[in-house]
Structure 1
């Protein structure tokens, strides 16, 4: 792992922690619901940070993303006060689809297990007789 990549990872982790606190404590926008900063991906040159967020209510997500987008300049200024970086990355907010993907995979696996359970519960001619 290169030093450049390692630094980007450390900055991403620090951004995630600080943004979560700033969003919770400093933003008073009524469009914001309960927001979770799930992941931050920082470009290698530290110029752009992609922030992946989720909300408890799916219906609030678009309004939340708009509120965060409009608050980005404020958040950058506040990050500049607490982070020791020469340049604070541009903040871009995105919907986190990892949770949705995980839930979809879990439902698919449950459905497969259910179907397999039905197959196992049906006795077949010779297999059912050999157990006795």
Structure 2
């Protein structure tokens, strides 16, 4: 179980990294990046910052990852100035695909719902048409 101090430092790194990426980093290559989580080593020497990248295509995603990699030193210095620990962790950015997968799943679910709605409407029209033909057959004189 993690100590209170450990969790406090981990949470501080997460919030400060998010703030730095959102407000302090002025790289035009940066897109929409969200800090999802932080893994911190027990000795406070290494931190992996898990980020979610919202990009239209894979090329843009790679461009944003390169921008994050080149900003690593700046982000680390900023975090060092805001933490009150003896050591500052070396940071590493790692992309989390969870948000993208969630968006893709929601899109597929929306598509399935639309297809179901269309199928049900088509079946209702066919049933109404068949019921209309049955009514005509029953009203015809024998």
1:19 alignment counterpart: 17
Alpha-carbon distance, 1:86 to partner: 2.6
Alpha-carbon distance, 1:7 to partner: 5.1
Residue 34, structure 1, aligned to residue 31, structure 2 = yes
Residue 116, structure 1, aligned to residue 116, structure 2 = yes
Deviations 1:75-127 (A, max 9, x none): 212211111223222211133322211111112212322333244331487xx
TM score, norm. by length of structure 1: 0.68
CA distance in 1, matches of 2:64, 2:116: 41
Q: Could you say what secondary structure the match of 1:3 adopts?
A: coil
Flag the structure with larger Rg.
2
CA distance in 1, matches of 2:70, 2:79: 15
CA distance in 1, matches of 2:74, 2:41: 23
Do 2:36 and 2:51's aligned partners in 1 also have CA atoms closer than 8 Å? yes
Q: Name structure 1 gaps, 5 residues minimum.
A: none
1:70 alignment counterpart: 70
The number of residue pairs the alignment matches comes to 124
Q: Could you say what secondary structure the match of 1:86 adopts?
A: coil
Of 61-70 and 48-57, deviating more is 48-57
For the aligned residue pairs, the C-alpha RMSD in angstroms reads: 3.0
TM score, norm. by length of structure 2: 0.65
Distance change (3 Å), C-alpha of 1:28 and 1:117: closer
